[in-house]
Amino acid sequence: MTTQSKNREMLLLFTRYPKAGETKTRLIPVLGKQGAAHLQQTMSEKTFSMAQKLSGRRKISLQIHYTGGSQLEMQQWLNGKITCIRQVGGSLGGRLIHAFCAAFAGSISKVIAIGTDCPALTPEIVEKGFQNLADYDLVLGPALDGGYYLIGLKKEEPALFSQISWGLDQVLEQTLKRAEKLGLSVHLLEPLADVDRPEDLCHIETIQ
């Protein structure tokens, strides 16, 4: 039996290499370049650890999709623990389309993508996402800022990511409208907070 046939679920982790001045730029006025990069690194590593805990109790494949830095820098940062793939596709929507389509082309039946900006995200919540994909076409984890911290699908849906105002507070609302037009059944997980802006820093006490 091949590894691919064993692991029919895949978790995609979207992040950015934590280089000072090039990450968490909206937090630089408050934290400084080094402080913002350190926060990015800390939240990313917490998310990677969470994902590995989940993979220890559920047969899932893990991939990191990154921007910034190089393949060598990513491997050195993570000691080669998780497969790292550079994001391609332009906008966030394009990058999600590319990552999802590549996963489904590899005989994966359920795919979830998450970012690394949600310190309250747990293995249990992500596992609920995979479980709910048995009954729904689309699973979303609403973020308090109007976006989403998790998106799960069980087949390619490129149209779901079109006509979305990425980076604004209408992302979740627009995605739900797109899902309705496409006739997709949707399950919403519990709302959680992302840490992107200075007013979100109150949520970082959950980072240990």
Alpha helices in 56-191 (DSSP H): 71-78, 92-105, 123-132, 171-181
Residue from 208, 30, 206 nearest 118 by CA: 206
Helices and strands in the chain: count of H runs, count of E runs: 6, 7
Residue 102: the pLDDT is 95
CATH class of 3-199: alpha beta
- pLDDT tens for residues 6-42? 569 999 999 999 999 999 999 999 999 999 999 999 9
**Per-residue pLDDT, 1:** 32
pTM (2 decimals)?
A: 0.92
Q: How far apart are CA 206 and CA 208, in angstroms?
A: 6
- Which parts of the chain have pLDDT scores under 50? 1-5, 208
Q: Are 182 and 133 in contact (CB under 8 A)?
A: no
